[in-house]
Amino acid sequence: MARLRAPERERTLLPSEEPLSLLRKDGSPVEDSPLEMPDDDVLVRLHRHMVIGRRFDTQATALTKQGRLAVYPSSRGQEACQVGAVLALREQDWLFPTYRDSVALVTRGVDPAGALTLLRGDWHLGYDPHEHRVGPQCTPLATNTPHAVGFAHAARLKGEDTAALVMLGDGATSEGDTHEALNFAGVWRTPVVFLVQNNGYAISVPLSKQTAAPSLAHKGIGYGVPSVLVDGNDAAAVYAVVREALRADGPTLVEAITYRIEAHTNADDATRYRDADEVAAWLDRDPVDRLEAHLVSRGLLDAAGKRALAEEAEAFAARVREQLNADVETDPAELFAHVYAEPTTHLREQAAQLARELA
Amino acid sequence: MTTGTTTGTTVVSMAAALNRALADALEADERVLVFGEDVGALGGVFRVTDGLAARFGERRVFDTPLAESGIVGTAIGMAMNGLRPVVEMQFDAFAYPAFEQITSHLAKLRNRTRGRVEVPVVIRVPYGGGIGGVEHHCDSSEAYYTHTPGLRVVTPGTPDDAYRLLRDAIDSPDPVVFLEPKRRYWTKGPLHGGPAAAFDRAVVRRHGRDVTLIAYGPMVATALETAEAAREEGWDVEVVDLRSLSPFDDETVCASVRRTGRAVVVHEASGFGGYGAEVVARVTERCFHHLHAPVLRVTGFDIPYPPPKLEKHHLPGVDRVLDAIDRLQWDDRVVVRGA
Ligand SMILES: Cc1ncc(C[n+]2csc(CCOP(=O)(O)OP(=O)(O)O)c2C)c(N)n1
Ligand SMILES: [Mg+2]
């Protein structure tokens, strides 16, 4: 992580005073950034996945209104984190996401219907974690953090070069598991990146009520875990930071400063705890617009390219609609099938009882 | 099936049998890891992991930071990545910080991934009282775990079962909470070794015609003692050792109760909302027409576990179990049958 921190910071493990970035709000490059600007083709891919991710996100929110999804926690405004971090993963690395990270999942290649299966109200995950190396979406806050540490530690014991990326929110940094996991990762020098998407709120509770720390990144110090503070609306910066951290010989805590544009979920009323002005200020720092402006100014994206991408995103949304508008066949008998490797006698009896009731 | 198995009968303590099971499992399968608090150089506060770190090395047997949720949480991650962690919780009540990881993840991951993710983690928990332990060191926490679908909950009553059940637990594709009756750690018994007969089956420890005592873990010895004492009072007592608390072996238990027509469930844990209530309900539902008396429970009182000086009053002993047997409506036999 030498590039990200001056020698003094390396020694003290302190994050930078200001979030690291590569692109300014208007898309112009930051001079003297300690971060390495991703290659042009990476910038183009980051943009493409953010555009598709955002369209996916608005589609999912719309599907809640039609009753096709039971609930949806939008990540609108957080696309630079979701896409930047996931594209930084190597093929062999694992992602440990939360409920907030559906866009990260589809960016990793998980089928949209799979990414939304639990949110649809089904009982199972909807995708095979091993297929895309994506752990289960995790709702009990911060409980995925020790899973990521254990997973990466096991990889190391087996002599495999696999790192883990675990996502969590600002609120989740107050949970005990975050601290236990950081501590284990520090002691074991486990290759895990803890990506805190600091979107300012834990449902309604602002960060000021969550912590007295100067920043969430500061929390790494006590565990001997180097920390990085990054502009979470700058996809190029998030990519650069996470990419380097995943290749480091040990853990990194990354705090990405971002904002949740929508309410906590479709069931939440954000007007009860935050002002429209605040939201407007963040809309002005939109992560997709920022990278788009950069690509256009560099001649990496033109009007035709934008149109083609918009069409691709529309087609993606249409597929999501189609998948979610189809009624799924659910088999109540399967509720008993995976509780144990082999259903117990007891469960077989209960399955038979339910079958009789349904006959 | 299991290799690296200890064979040839010897007489050992339960702690030594468990140690041997861990050693044989580590030997047999390189995916097996043992970790927890003080399990390395010290060999665990009860010495169950004695010598394992020296023999198998720090990569496979190691001390962790002091954080139970972290221990179980990282074990889950390791199991997701193909290893077979066996973790130690130092004492029963100190497993509670890991409760969320156990109930929300360990127990559910197979189900919520439709069987695509297995988490074959074994959580060893020394449990129960009778060792003069101070507060938080003597809980019988089995009901918290048996109430959670997806977990297997196992507890041995003899050194031989300790060996075989632990080998089976480590081989099991399901997560197992392995409850070790700490007051029986130093009790010796024969160790036959070899693969277990049936991991989730109860066993009749002693045959008798008049009444079935249903016990597990630390109470198996108490039940057997009671059976001896009862002989002098003219009762021929059968003792069933459950071994697997979840899943529950209805077949073995009910077959016994149907033979004897009377049953008493014995456990150390508090009775209210306890494991014994489930056993009574199951037996009553399945054996009602064979019963000559209500199925009774002899349990700890519904109080926080008492201090060393007073624990003898709390723990079910031979006299209390004999009293329960005495209350099984022996005199009403004809009346009840005729009614
Ligand atoms: C252990 C636990 N406690 C409470 C909740 C209920 N809950 C769900 S999301 C949430 C807020 C989390 O905020 P944050 O970590 O900042 O993530 P964000 O939702 O902002 O992405 C709460 C309190 C939960 N899921 N898990
Ligand atoms: Mg938040």
Mean pLDDT for the stretch of residues B65-93? 98
| Rounded distance between C-alpha atoms, residue A130 and residue B184, angstroms | 42
Q: Write out pLDDT tens, residues A138-165.
A: 999 999 999 999 999 999 999 999 999 9
Is the confidence at residue B262, as pLDDT, over 50?
A: yes
pLDDT for residue B193: 77
Quickly state the pLDDT bin for B7 (edges 50, 70, 90): low
> Based on the domain organization, do B164 and B186 belong to the same domain?
yes
Q: What is the CATH number of the domain that holds B225?
A: 3.40.50.920
> Based on the domain organization, do B56 and B104 belong to the same domain?
yes
- Please indicate whether, in this complex, the C-beta atoms of B105 and A180 are within 8 angstroms of each other: no
Residues of B in contact with A123 (CB under 8 A): 111-112
| Rounded distance between C-alpha atoms, residue B67 and residue B61, angstroms | 17
Q: How far is the CA of A327 from the centre of ligand 1 (A)?
A: 30
Q: What is the span of the domain harbouring residue B322?
A: 203-326
Mean pLDDT for the stretch of residues B46-53? 98
CB within 8 Å of chain A, chain B residues 210-249: 247-248
pLDDT for residue B337: 41
Of the candidates B285, B300, B288, the residue with the CA atom closest to the CA atom of residue B248: B285
Of the candidates A73, A84, A96, the residue with the CA atom closest to the CA atom of residue A233: A84
Mean pLDDT for the stretch of residues B209-219? 98
**CATH 2.40.10.340 for domain A2-328:** no
Percent of chain B at pLDDT > 70 equals 94
Q: How many domains does chain B have?
A: 2
Residue B204: other Cβ atoms inside 10 A: 16
Q: Is B137 a catalytic residue?
A: yes
A191 lines ligand 1 (CB under 6 A): no
E runs forming strands in chain A? 94-96, 164-169, 192-198, 201-202, 205-206, 227-231, 252-257
Of the candidates B219, B239, B242, the residue with the CA atom closest to the CA atom of residue B152: B242
Mutation target to probe the A interface, by most A beta carbons within 10 A, among B69, B102, B152, B245 is B69
Mutation target to probe the A interface, by most A beta carbons within 10 A, among B80, B151, B246 is B80
Domain boundary among B139, B171, B191: B191
Query: Any CB–CB contact under 8 A between B299 and chain A?
Result: no
What distance in Å separates residue A228's CA from the closest CA in chain B?
A: 23
Q: Give phi and psi for B23, each to the nearest 5.
A: -60, -45
Of the candidates A286, A232, A227, the residue with the CA atom closest to the CA atom of residue A100: A232
A206 lines ligand 1 (CB under 6 A): no
The residue ranges of chain A whose pLDDT is under 50 are: 2
Q: Residue B76 falls within a domain, yes or no? A: yes
Average pLDDT over chain A, rounded to an integer: 95
- Please indicate whether, in this complex, the C-beta atoms of B104 and A140 are within 8 angstroms of each other: yes
> Based on the domain organization, do B53 and B180 belong to the same domain?
yes
Q: Write out pLDDT tens, residues B192-201.
A: 877 666 689 9
CB within 8 Å of chain B, chain A residues 179-238: 180-181, 183-184, 187
Domain boundary among B142, B168, B191: B191
Query: Any CB–CB contact under 8 A between A343 and chain B?
Result: no
Q: State whether residue A98 is helix, strand or coil.
A: strand
Is the confidence at residue B248, as pLDDT, over 50?
A: yes
Quickly state the pLDDT bin for B3 (edges 50, 70, 90): very low
pLDDT for residue B331: 82
Nearest CA in chain A to B117: A129
| Rounded distance between C-alpha atoms, residue A79 and residue A260, angstroms | 10
> Based on the domain organization, do B288 and B224 belong to the same domain?
yes
Mean pLDDT for the stretch of residues B162-187? 97
Which residue ranges make up each domain of chain A? 2-328, 331-359
- What is the 8-class DSSP label of residue A30? P
Closest partner residue to B174 among A124, A180, A340, by Cβ? Answer: A340
> Based on the domain organization, do B217 and B120 belong to the same domain?
no
Q: pTM of the entire structure?
A: 0.96
Q: Residue B333 falls within a domain, yes or no? A: no
Helix spans in A18-128 (H): 40-65, 79-88, 102-108, 112-115
Q: Write out pLDDT tens, residues A67-125.
A: 999 999 999 999 999 999 999 999 999 999 999 999 999 999 999 999 999 999 898 99
Mutation target to probe the A interface, by most A beta carbons within 10 A, among B114, B146, B151, B242 is B114
- Please indicate whether, in this complex, the C-beta atoms of A346 and B247 are within 8 angstroms of each other: yes
A199 lines ligand 1 (CB under 6 A): yes
- Please indicate whether, in this complex, the C-beta atoms of B110 and A341 are within 8 angstroms of each other: yes
pLDDT for residue A348: 96
Q: How far is the CA of A172 from the centre of ligand 2 (A)?
A: 8
> Based on the domain organization, do B57 and B170 belong to the same domain?
yes
Mean pLDDT for the stretch of residues B137-161? 97
Residues of B in contact with A332 (CB under 8 A): none
A97 lines ligand 1 (CB under 6 A): no
Which residues lie across from B85 on neighbouring strands? Answer: B33
Of the candidates B200, B321, B339, B201, the residue with the CA atom closest to the CA atom of residue B262: B321
The catalytic residue among B105, B136, B137, B207 is B137
> Based on the domain organization, do B154 and B88 belong to the same domain?
yes
Q: State whether residue A102 is helix, strand or coil.
A: helix
> Based on the domain organization, do B160 and B232 belong to the same domain?
no
Mean pLDDT for the stretch of residues B146-164? 97
Q: How far is the CA of A249 from the centre of ligand 2 (A)?
A: 28
- Please indicate whether, in this complex, the C-beta atoms of B113 and A337 are within 8 angstroms of each other: no
Is the confidence at residue B8, as pLDDT, over 80?
A: no
pLDDT for residue B336: 46
> Based on the domain organization, do B231 and B305 belong to the same domain?
yes
> Based on the domain organization, do B20 and B142 belong to the same domain?
yes
Mean pLDDT for the stretch of residues B225-247? 97
Q: Which of A74, A137, A141, A216 to mutate to test the pocket of ligand 1 (most atoms within 8 A of CB)?
A: A141
Is the confidence at residue B26, as pLDDT, over 80?
A: yes
Q: Residue B2 falls within a domain, yes or no? A: no
Centroid of chain to Cα B118: 23
- Please indicate whether, in this complex, the C-beta atoms of A143 and B100 are within 8 angstroms of each other: yes
Which pairs count as long-range contacts for B276-281, CB under 8 Å and 24+ apart, including other chains? B278/B146, B278/B248, B279/B214, B279/B242, B279/B248, B279/B253
Nearest CA in chain A to B251: A345
What distance in Å separates residue A281's CA from the closest CA in chain B?
A: 39
What distance in Å separates residue A47's CA from the closest CA in chain B?
A: 31
> Based on the domain organization, do B110 and B185 belong to the same domain?
yes
Q: Residue B265 falls within a domain, yes or no? A: yes
Domain boundary among B166, B191, B216: B191
